[in-house]
Amino acid sequence: MLNYRHLYYFWIVVKEGGFARAAERLEMAVQTISAQVRELEKSLGRQLLKPAGRGVTMTEAGEQAFDRAEQIFQLGEALLDEMRETSGEGVVRFAVGLSDGVSKLAAHALLAPVLATPSLRLLCHEGEPAQLLSELALHRLDLVLACQPAPHGADLRVLSQRVAGVPVDWYGPAQIVRKAARTGFPQCLADLPVLLPTRHGALRARLDRWFESQGIRPRIVGEFEDSALMAVFAARGLGVFPLAELGAQELTLLRGLRWLGRADDVIEEIHAIRSRRGQHHALASQVIAAAQA
């Protein structure tokens, strides 16, 4: 049988970036960990690590072994959480994936109904949609929030529901908004410094089409993947920015921002995606029900 302790040492070496840091984390001698990894390589009949400068890097076989080790030890962590939950000892685990392009302020508003859950352990992961759907398929995630529905495919056993389709408003620092009032909205955007989401998300494409329909060539001074970070820079005077109505309530955390106008015909969509096996997760169902209500 596979020696899981040896596999664990190999996993830690890769995650820590070398034997020395792994030894420090495990409070063991470097020679001991090195010997355990060699035993793993011997039992598998493949070299997993090779020298690279002053450290080590994975071979192709090592990459395959590391991917499996990730699955094994994350499942082990999930098992412990589930056992604690069923014994009444603790955590209610809720792992959520946030797709690139999803407004983080809107995501916070969607998750707000479950944040007061006793003993909640909320895990938020951000990444590309394909990566998050893979994590969902492996049951490492309970819910994915994405700006587009899951692609159709027989190999994707997921449920996809649109939970938000909300208008987009523009905000900016008070001094900029006061000056823009003389020109009127949206024409004032042609003269103002503009902050936009990056092209990762569907919202940016909708905004670009809207600018074109309005005959506006914006002076873009910043592009951000994170809507919350974009709002912070706007509040510091960098420019004006768009935000879905769903996330606007979170702007109370930032002083000095004022409403500028609404971008007619621009809608931000958010889709909730679950695996069929995990469709009955109580917190995921609560988030979706609250959003649809």
Predicted confidence (pLDDT) per residue in 156-204, tens digit: 678 889 998 889 999 999 989 988 888 899 999 999 999 999 887 788 9
Sequential DSSP letters for 229-282: HHHHHHHTTS-BEEEEGGGGGGGGGSTTEEEEEEEEEEEEEEEEEEESTTTT-H
Can you give the pLDDT at residue 264? 84
Burial of 62 (0-12, 13-18, 19+ CB in 10 A): buried
| pLDDT score of 230 more than 60 | yes
pLDDT at 95 over 80: yes
- Do residues 190 and 281 both lie within one domain? no
Q: Which of 38, 55, 82 is the last residue of a domain?
A: 82
169 and 215 in a common domain? yes
Amino acid 89: pLDDT: 56
- Asked if 144 and 76 sit in the same domain, the reply is no
Same domain, 45 and 121: no
Residue-level pLDDT at 193:
96
Q: State the CATH number of the domain containing residue 46.
A: 1.10.10.10
Q: Do 257 and 281 belong to one domain?
A: no
Q: Are residues 175 and 235 in the same domain?
A: yes
**pLDDT confidence bin for 84, thresholds 50/70/90:** low
CATH number for 143: 3.40.190.10
Q: Rounded CA gap, 31 and 49, in Å?
A: 15
Of 215 and 251, more confident? 215
**So what's the pLDDT on residue 49?**
93
Confidence band, pLDDT 50/70/90 cuts, at residue 71: confident
Claim to verify: residue 231 and residue 287 sit in the same structural domain? no
Determine the pLDDT at residue 183.
Answer: 87
- Is the domain of 147 the same as that of 279? yes
Domain of residue 14: give its range.
4-82
More confident residue, 258 or 82: 258
Q: Is there a single domain that holds both residue 277 and residue 160? A: yes
| Domain match, 154 and 142 both | yes
Highest mean pLDDT among 17-21, 115-119, 216-220, 272-276: 216-220
Measured in degrees and rounded to the nearest 5, phi and psi for residue 65 equal -65, -40
- The larger pLDDT score, comparing residue 121 to residue 170, is at 170
Q: Structurally, how many domains does the chain consist of? A: 3
Q: Are residues 126 and 241 in the same domain?
A: no
Strand order in the sheet with 92-99: 120-127, 92-99, 143-146, 257-275, 158-173, 241-244
Question: Domain ends where: 82, 116, 131?
Answer: 82
Are 157 and 285 contained in the same domain?
yes
Residue 55 CA to its chain's centroid (Å): 30
